[in-house]
């Protein structure tokens, strides 16, 4: 059974707004990480009229053991009009801040970086006042792919290391690497990304010292914003790791203080925090710190 602090509720009047968001997404044939990854904050975010868009299809070439997204081989399929459809939906929703993420696409030479870049450009053309955060895969560590995305001009460049170094081979797909993720974040910052961001899940068997080490590693490559949340097993399938521990809210609060002392510009730390949760709020906090 979930602890009391993990449970969520639909906000007042949320169902009507949720239905409106769902209708727009269906009309433009778009995926969201909110539903594909079974995010626990879907009611809060959709109830507020916001969503994290998941481009490049709904089939991931990797099989991380924390993720509910379908895994398989997309065989190079790309919908080249998707950036235009995403931009049109965002304009219709009237969003001030959007997060664009994707499945891993190891079947594409650039990992999908060109589609990320075109999506950012289209959003900026149609909704020039909208802030855009990209939450990207590691692109296999290809610097050219990172460069392609950064040069498109996102306001925040995000990539999650997900877990501590020791647990990375168990938690993430074998093609993922703790050090590759750090290199991607470092390179994005060196290329001039205005803000970089990464995230950690707790409750997978990590020790406190390992969490502190991971925070130091992220700060060491210039990460500005960090999110820290509780891992929640998406299904009871053997593919998905069981929860090793339910981390209490006060521990998240303490880690928030530690991260701020390290110099992060903004920290979102709590049981229900996800990488795109209240993204605008953390963005504003980072500007205030600046």
- The predicted model gives 107-124 an average pLDDT of 98
The reply to whether 155 falls in a domain is yes
> pLDDT over 90 for what percent of the chain?
71
Burial class (CB in 10 A: 0-12, 13-18, 19+), 94: exposed
Enclosing domain of residue 251? 9-289
- The predicted model gives 139-163 an average pLDDT of 98
Q: Please name the residues in contact with 200: beta carbons below 8 A apart, sequence gap of 6 or more.
A: 160, 161, 162, 163, 164, 211, 214, 215, 226, 227, 228, 229
CATH number of the domain residue 139 falls in: 3.20.20.70
The pTM of the whole model exceeds 0.75: yes
Q: What is the mean pLDDT of the chain?
A: 89
Q: Three-state DSSP class for 49?
A: coil
- The predicted model gives 103-112 an average pLDDT of 98
The reply to whether 57 falls in a domain is yes
- Alpha helices, H only, the chain: 14-27, 33-36, 42-47, 82-93, 113-126, 143-151, 168-171, 178-190, 208-220, 249-262, 279-289
- In this predicted model, what pLDDT tens digit does every residue of 61-83 receive, in sequence order? 999 999 988 999 999 999 999 99
The pLDDT-based confidence of 184 (bands split at 50, 70, 90) is very high
**Residue 8 pLDDT exceeds 90:** no
The reply to whether 1 falls in a domain is no
For residue 135, what is the enclosing H or E element? strand 131-135
**Residue 45 pLDDT exceeds 90:** no
How many structural domains is the chain composed of?
1
The reply to whether 93 falls in a domain is yes
The reply to whether 90 falls in a domain is yes
Strands 156-158 and 196-202, by their bridges, are: parallel
Least trusted range by pLDDT, from 74-83, 167-176, 279-288:
279-288
The reply to whether 55 falls in a domain is yes
């Amino acid at each position: 059974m979930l602890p009391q602090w993990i449970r969520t509720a639909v906000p007042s009047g949320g169902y009507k707004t949720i239905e409106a968001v769902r209708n727009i997404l269906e009309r433009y044939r778009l995926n969201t990480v909110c539903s594909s990854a079974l995010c626990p904050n879907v009611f809060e975010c959709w109830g507020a009229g916001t969503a994290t868009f998941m481009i490049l299809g709904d089939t991931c070439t990797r099989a991380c053991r924390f993720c509910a997204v379908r895994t398989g081989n997309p065989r190079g399929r790309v919908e080249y009009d998707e950036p235009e459809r995403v931009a049109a939906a965002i304009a219709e929703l009237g969003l001030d801040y959007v997060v664009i993420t994707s499945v891993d696409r190891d079947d594409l030479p650039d990992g999908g970086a060109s589609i990320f870049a075109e999506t950012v450009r289209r959003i900026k053309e149609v909704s020039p006042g909208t802030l855009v955060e990209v939450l990207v895969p590691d692109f296999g560590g290809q610097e050219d792919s990172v460069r392609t995305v950064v040069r498109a001009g996102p306001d925040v460049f995000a990539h999650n290391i997900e877990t501590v170094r020791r647990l990375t081979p168990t938690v993430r797909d074998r093609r993922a690497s703790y050090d590759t993720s750090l290199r991607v974040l470092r390179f994005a910052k060196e290329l001039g990304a205005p803000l970089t961001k990464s995230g950690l899940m707790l409750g997978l068997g990590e020790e406190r010292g390992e969490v502190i080490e991971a925070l130091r590693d992220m700060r060491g490559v210039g990460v500005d914003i960090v999110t820290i949340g509780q891992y929640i097993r998406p299904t009871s399938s053997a593919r998905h790791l069981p929860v090793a521990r339910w981390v209490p809210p006060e521990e998240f609060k303490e880690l928030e203080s530690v991260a701020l002392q390290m110099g992060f510009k903004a920290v979102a730390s709590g049981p229900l925090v996800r990488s795109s949760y209240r993204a605008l709020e953390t963005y504003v906090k980072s500007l205030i710190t600046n």
